[in-house]
Structure 1
Amino acid sequence: MSALGVVGALFCMIISALGLRDGPLCKTSSNSSFEYPFFNQTQTESYLFNQTSWAECIWPENVVLWNITLFSILLTLGTAQTLLCLFQILNGLFGCLCGTCMRKRQTGVA
């Protein structure tokens, strides 16, 4: 089950990273339809570090900040989940191979 947890956490991390890279889906002008205004930007032009470019998204309000906050939290939680599941896998593996590593006590019962 921990291996399945690692797979799910990695999926969450990949989706979150892509969500941060591509930016939010928003309306950029009053006549336009919804689009990804920050899609295919280079790292030097990234909207993540340029708050003045966030004004491109007119509606919904503060969608860029929401997008960054949500996917950053999901990326952090996915990383923590991956580490915890990997530690659980290692713990189970060592527990299986090494056993309890305690000698059986001999009782003097006859």
Structure 2
Amino acid sequence: MQRIAFTMKLHAGFEEEYRRRHDAIWPELQTLLHTTGIREYSIFLDEETGTLFAVLQIADPSALDQLPKQPVMQRWWDYMKDIMDSNPDHSPVTKSLKEVFYLPCK
């Protein structure tokens, strides 16, 4: 498994709405993420800056390239665009992060 990490930006004042929407994640989106090969996916919030930090585990990171083509993914982005920084196609503005340290637990 490979770990992928990135940041996104939440609009101020939408912290609870972001959490509410993710607490009710659509089953078809959850299925898509699982069938794409994502095995773990966490999102953390820096409440001072509104920065979202996401990390996921996937066997084949190239499989993520297919997500933007999926209708359920496009609907989710459209649903989320009003509360976070988004691109013209409504996908979230992301910044990839480079791993610089990892300490596996044994």
* Larger proportion of helix: 1
* Larger proportion of strand: 2
- TM-score relative to the length of structure 2: 0.28
- TM-score relative to the length of structure 1: 0.27
The structure with higher relative contact order (CA 8 Å, sep 6+) is: 2
